Amino acid sequence: MANQKLKIKKLKLSATGYIDSATQIASPNFDARPENTIIDLIVIHNISLPPNIYGGPGVEQLFTNRLNPNEHPYYAEIHTRKVSSHFFIRRNGELIQFVSCLQRAWHAGVSSWQGRERCNDFSVGIELEGTDFEAFEPTQYNTLKQLVKALKKSYPIQHIVGHSDIAPDRKTDPGLYFEWTKI
């Protein structure tokens, strides 16, 4: 499946905060956004589990608290973390959704954007399968563009930023290989 390219149709966000055609894998790692929160930020991340390995179940396992610490030495360090993202885009363009956009996914951590703290409160998190050290696939950008369009139709998105922009002392993703002009 890693080499299979998926044809991405126009994406639609439902009133319940789910993309109709995304694969749904429920994460327990979310909570309610603060009352009257306006969702106006998209945060782009990258992730691969094990590090620099693509196509396996590690990301889904991490976001659903099922990561086996014995499967890889890195997993022993991170298996107790309670993290998630709204979306994950695999190398082949497959779109997976873990948390409704109406809920607060736990993707940004300690963060701030233009003087506002706690970016999880007002952002949608999108993880791209990849690393800081390798180019992303054209099909990932295609899916990302369609996803951003769908999100902008439902929310007054003002900015699309990298994790490194909201947590510069801690994070470097999506990395130097992410091509901002493609979205």
d(CA 137, CA 164): 20
d(CA 57, CA 148): 25
Q: Which domains occur in the chain, in start order?
A: 33-182 (3.40.80.10)
Q: In the predicted model, is pLDDT for residue 17 greater than 90? A: yes
CA–chain centroid gap for 27, Å, is 13
Q: In the predicted model, is pLDDT for residue 9 greater than 90? A: no
- Phi and psi at residue 104, in whole multiples of 5°? -95, 110
Q: In the predicted model, is pLDDT for residue 160 greater than 80? A: yes
H or E, element range at 95: strand 95-97
Q: In the predicted model, is pLDDT for residue 61 greater than 60? A: yes
Tell me, yes or no, if 127 is annotated catalytic.
Answer: yes
Two structure tokens written together for 75: 């997993």
CA–chain centroid gap for 72, Å, is 22
Contact 144, 3 (CB under 8 A): no
Q: In the predicted model, is pLDDT for residue 59 greater than 80? A: yes
Q: Which of 94, 127, 129, 137 is catalytic?
A: 127
What number is the average pLDDT over the span 174-178?
Answer: 97
Sheet holding 41-47: strands in order across? 23-24, 95-97, 87-89, 123-129, 41-47, 159-162
Question: Mind listing the pLDDT tens digit for each residue in 82-99?
Answer: 999 999 999 999 999 999
Q: In the predicted model, is pLDDT for residue 6 greater than 80? A: no
Which residue matches tokens 């998630």? 84
